[in-house]
């Protein structure tokens, strides 16, 4: 992949990355910072990518890591507890945006990539480096907790 | 609002335009261009210490000057970091080589040398159909392979693609370049399949502590080239006696000799034992009888010390070798000093409390990681694009035990990003295997001085 191709790829994916970060972090400024950091890290190492077809899932993984790091930083100042999968009533009581943010990490990742950033189930599984079946199970659990009735197609 | 309506509203919210997103790639590019290479000199048995400067942006005029000589055009492009080497190429002062070796899926080819009495520049390429991103760790041995020679060496071209010209500079301080040297290149694979986890910040930090290199099993190929130098090149260089004493900022220094080699020029200096400060940098330029100006070396080793004190014993400038000048003038415009009562600087790594700091320098941050502390000091940038060295090569604990600093990394804090609107450089050093709260570091300087009228030394 040369520099021009890298630029085109970034142009195509930046909005998707931003949406993912925005849902994850809940702040436009933090989301933009996470995308900036992700693009910088990708720029520093994209030449090492042996198979450019993995670019989208690779850069998404960088972004997810950035979002986790940011949440870890925030926890020091403003603890935001994840709710366990058994806390169905608490999830019901929360607005959707807040409920997503308080999902267990594994479920949150899947639901954000699938239903807000527009990744297919296959892309979601590849980005998170989990089997597709696991992604499908987590997706189902997350939708159930959120009481959100959306399509759950497992193969696309 | 039911959950589905909430979901639709949230999707709408995500569609809100974010114009700043358009500039994300430009911001990343700008930031990357500011990040300098980590400088890790590999020092052999030479007792001398070295002072270096990193230059961010190279100029490329020589690439055009050489376009009439097709064979050397690519070499000219590879040496734009050094006006002296560019002159050497333009004057066809190049020893062609054709040494090719293949090990497994990697081929290495040594193509050219630029060599004189004090320096060897090796130009080589790496090829591979299997690995997309490879780099070589160089090691230099004497021709019989028994001992490292008294030299330091540094590698350029870390980001080069397969097949592009890379270079290694091997520098001899006191000794002369021998008839031959053995160059060992161990090649590592830096390509990624796309399935690897991106490096975490913690991994990047730990990597900073490893100046020695990776485990043997990580190398994918190894080459050993015997470099035999044409005696007509290794003999090139001359020394002119000067022996003139001048007073700068109330301190006395004596310029003893000027040494002229194709790869660089050296001004050798002795300082007076009565001086209250060590001479750490000399601001000067060389003027020839044709009015041509030669600046100090702006990238790489700029000065060397003798090991007897903190003063630098030899300063380097771009070479006048190819200009056949009968007279030279050393025009001294200023100096940088290290006060003898400021050789050590106290820092409390936890609180940021410090002793008396050099002019324009401040504590920036310190972070403890598994392998030790990462210390960051900031200094006002002296010249756009230039990074000067803030800390020396050693640090001390409360008991006075000495430890080494083996690598430095330097970044720019742009005026628009800093709180006071001033552009700073931030120097990051690893304090390896160190977990104490207090440390004593060696500042490279205490203050600068600029002459009201330049001090001129004539050299015949």
pLDDT in tens, B10-68: 888 888 878 888 888 888 877 665 544 444 444 333 334 555 544 333 333 333 333 33
- Using the Cα atoms of residue B193, residue B198, residue B204 and residue B205 in order, give the sign of their dihedral: negative
Provide, rounded to the nearest whole percent, the portion of chain B with pLDDT above 70: 82
CB B395 within 8 A of CB B405: yes
- Determine contact, residues B457/B255, Cβ cutoff 8 Å: yes
Residues B359-388, mean pLDDT to the nearest whole number: 89
Query: What is the distance between the alpha carbons of residues B191 and B59, in angstroms, rounded to a whole number?
Result: 30
CA angle B426, B429, B430 (to 5 degrees): 150
pLDDT tens-digit readout, A23-55: 888 888 889 989 998 998 888 778 777 777 888
pLDDT (average), residues B420-448: 91
Question: Cα–Cα distances in Å, from A46 out to A9, A33, A42, B39, B253?
Answer: 11, 19, 5, 23, 51
Give the tens place of pLDDT for each residue, B128-161. Answer: 988 888 888 888 888 887 777 877 777 776 667 8
Interface confidence, given as ipTM, is: 0.84
d(CA B421, CA B414): 8
What letter would DSSP give residue B408?
A: B
Q: Return phi, psi of residue B286, to 5°.
A: -110, 135
* Radius of gyration for the alpha carbons in chain A, expressed in angstroms and rounded: 16
Side-chain half-sphere exposure of A58, counting CA atoms within 13 A: 25
In this complex, the residue of B10, B21, B198 whose CB is nearest that of residue A96 is B10
CA B354 to CA B366: how far, in whole Å?
A: 12
Alpha-carbon distance of B125 to A130, in angstroms, equals 40
Q: How far apart are CA B258 and CA B91, in angstroms?
A: 22
User: Which backbone phi and psi does A75 adopt, to 5 degrees?
Assistant: -55, -30
Q: Where are the domains of chain B?
A: 40-234, 238-341+449-459, 359-444
Instruction: State the pLDDT at residue B74.
Output: 63
Residue B210: per-residue pLDDT = 59
Which listed CATH number (3.10.20.30, 3.40.50.1000, 2.60.40.1640, 3.40.190.150) goes with B40-234? 2.60.40.1640
Beta strands in B119-194 (DSSP E): 119-127, 134-142, 151-156, 166-172, 180-189
> What is this structure's pTM?
0.63
Burial of A156 (0-12, 13-18, 19+ CB in 10 A): exposed
Residue of A nearest to B3 (CA): A148
Q: Of the given ranges (B76-85, B171-180, B233-242, B338-347), which has the lowest mean pLDDT?
A: B76-85
Give which of A110, A118, A13 is closest to A55, Cα–Cα.
A13
**Whole-number Å distance between alpha carbons of B124 and B223:** 12
Average pLDDT, chain B: 82
Please tell me which residue, B235 or B69, carries the higher pLDDT value.
B235
CB contact under 8 A, B194 and A23: no
- CB contact (8 A) between residue A36 and residue B201: no
Phi, psi of A111 (to 5 degrees): -70, -35
Q: Among partner residues A32, A43, A48, which is closest to B133 by beta-carbon distance? A: A48
Residue B446: what pLDDT? 96
**B238-341+449-459 in CATH: which number?**
2.60.40
Provide, as residue numbers in chain B, all residues whose Cβ is less than 8 Å from the Cβ of A36. Answer: 24, 27-28
Q: DSSP strand E in B272-397: where?
A: 277-288, 293-294, 300-305, 312-317, 328-339, 345-348, 361-369, 372-380, 386-387, 391-396
Phi-psi region of B235 (alpha: psi -120 to 50; beta: other; left: phi over 0): alpha
Q: Would you give the DSSP letter of residue B242?
A: E
Q: How far does A70 lie from chain B, in Å, by closest CA? A: 12
Residue of A100, A63, A65, A103 whose CA lies nearest to A82 = A103
> Would the CB atoms of B192 and A49 count as touching at under 8 Å?
yes
pLDDT of residue B60: 32
C-alpha span between B48 and B165 (Å, rounded): 30
Residues of B with a Cβ under 8 Å from any A Cβ are 3-4, 6-7, 10-11, 14, 18, 20-21, 24-25, 27-29, 31-32, 35, 132-133, 159, 161, 190-195, 197-201
Distance, in angstroms, between B396 CA and closest chain A CA? 33
% residues pLDDT > 90 (chain B): 41
* CB contacts, 8 Å: B35 with chain A: 44
Task: Rounding to the nearest 10 degrees, give the CA dihedral for residues B71, B72, B74, B80.
Answer: -170
- Ranked by mean pLDDT, which of A81-90, B208-217, B432-441 comes out on top? B432-441
Candidates B177, B332, B321, B318; CA nearest to B260 is B321
Parts of chain A with a pLDDT under 70: 74-81, 151-156
Contact B27/A95, CB-based, under 8 Å?
Answer: no
Residue of B nearest to A151 (CA): B4
Dist. CA B167–CA B157, nearest whole Å: 6
Cβ A48–B20 below 8 Å, yes or no? Answer: no
A125 CA: distance to closest CA in chain B (Å): 12
Position B208 scores a pLDDT of 64
CATH fold match for the domains B40-234 and B238-341+449-459: yes
Structural domains in chain A, CATH included, are 1-80 (1.10.1740.10), 84-156 (1.10.10.10)
């Amino acid at each position: 992949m040369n520099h021009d191709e890298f630029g085109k790829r970034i142009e195509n994916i930046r909005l998707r990355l931003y949406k993912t970060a925005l849902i994850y972090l809940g702040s436009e400024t933090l989301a933009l910072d996470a995308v900036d950091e992700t693009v910088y890290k990708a720029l520093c190492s994209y030449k090492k990518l042996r198979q450019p077809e993995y670019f989208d899932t690779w850069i998404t993984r960088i972004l997810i890591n950035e979002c986790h790091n940011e949440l870890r930083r925030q926890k020091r100042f403003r603890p935001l507890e994840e709710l366990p999968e058994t806390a169905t009533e608490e999830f019901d009581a929360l607005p959707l945006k807040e409920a997503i943010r308080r999902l267990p990490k594994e479920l949150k990742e899947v639901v954000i990539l699938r239903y807000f950033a527009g990744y297919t189930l296959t892309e979601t599984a590849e980005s998170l480096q989990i089997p597709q079946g696991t992604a499908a199970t987590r997706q189902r659990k997350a939708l159930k907790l959120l009481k959100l009735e959306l399509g759950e197609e497992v193969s696309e | 609002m039911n959950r589905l309506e909430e979901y639709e509203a949230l999707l709408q919210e995500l569609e809100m335009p974010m114009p700043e997103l358009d500039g994300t790639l430009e911001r990343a590019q700008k930031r990357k261009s500011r990040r300098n290479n980590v400088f890790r000199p590999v020092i052999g048995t030479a007792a001398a210490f070295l002072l270096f400067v990193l230059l961010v942006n190279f100029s490329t005029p020589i690439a055009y000057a050489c376009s009439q000589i097709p064979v050397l055009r690519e070499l000219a492009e590879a040496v734009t970091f050094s006006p002296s080497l560019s002159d050497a190429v333009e004057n066809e002062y190049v020893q062609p080589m054709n040494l090719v070796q293949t090990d497994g899926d990697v081929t290495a080819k040594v193509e050219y040398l630029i060599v004189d009495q004090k320096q060897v520049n090796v130009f080589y390429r790496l090829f591979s159909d299997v690995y997309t991103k490879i780099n070589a760790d160089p090691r230099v041995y004497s021709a019989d392979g028994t001992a490292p020679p008294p030299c330091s060496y540094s590698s350029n071209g870390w980001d080069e693609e397969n097949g592009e010209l890379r270079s290694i500079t091997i520098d001899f301080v006191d000794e002369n370049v021998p008839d031959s040297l053995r160059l060992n290149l161990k090649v590592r694979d830096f390509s990624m399949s796309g399935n690897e986890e991106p490096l975490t910040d913690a991994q990047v930090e730990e990597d900073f502590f490893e100046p020695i290199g990776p485990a043997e099993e990580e190398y994918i190929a190894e080459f050993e080239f015997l470099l035999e130098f044409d005696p007509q090149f290794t003999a090139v260089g001359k020394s002119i006696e000067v022996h003139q004493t001048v007073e700068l900022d109330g301190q006395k220094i004596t310029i003893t000799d000027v040494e002229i080699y194709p790869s660089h020029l050296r001004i050798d200096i002795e300082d007076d034992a009565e001086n209250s400060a060590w001479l750490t940098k000399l601001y000067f330029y060389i003027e020839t009888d044709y009015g041509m100006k030669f600046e100090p070396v702006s990238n790489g080793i700029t000065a060397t010390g003798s090991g007897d004190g903190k003063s630098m014993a030899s300063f380097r400038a771009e070479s006048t070798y190819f200009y056949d000048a009968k007279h030279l003038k050393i025009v001294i415009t200023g100096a940088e000093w290290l006060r003898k009562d400021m050789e050590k600087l106290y820092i409390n790594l936890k609180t940021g409390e410090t002793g008396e700091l050099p002019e324009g320098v401040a504590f920036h941050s310190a972070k403890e990681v598994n392998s030790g502390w990462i210390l960051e000091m900031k200094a006002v940038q002296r010249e756009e694009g230039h990074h000067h060295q803030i800390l020396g090569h050693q640090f001390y604990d409360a008991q006075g035990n000495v430890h080494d600093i083996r690598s430095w990394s330097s970044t720019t804090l742009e005026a628009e990003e800093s709180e006071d609107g001033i552009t700073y450089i931030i120097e990051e050093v690893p304090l390896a295997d160190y977990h104490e709260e207090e440390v004593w570091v060696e500042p490279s300087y205490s203050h600068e001085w600029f002459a009201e009228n330049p001090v001129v030394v004539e050299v015949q």
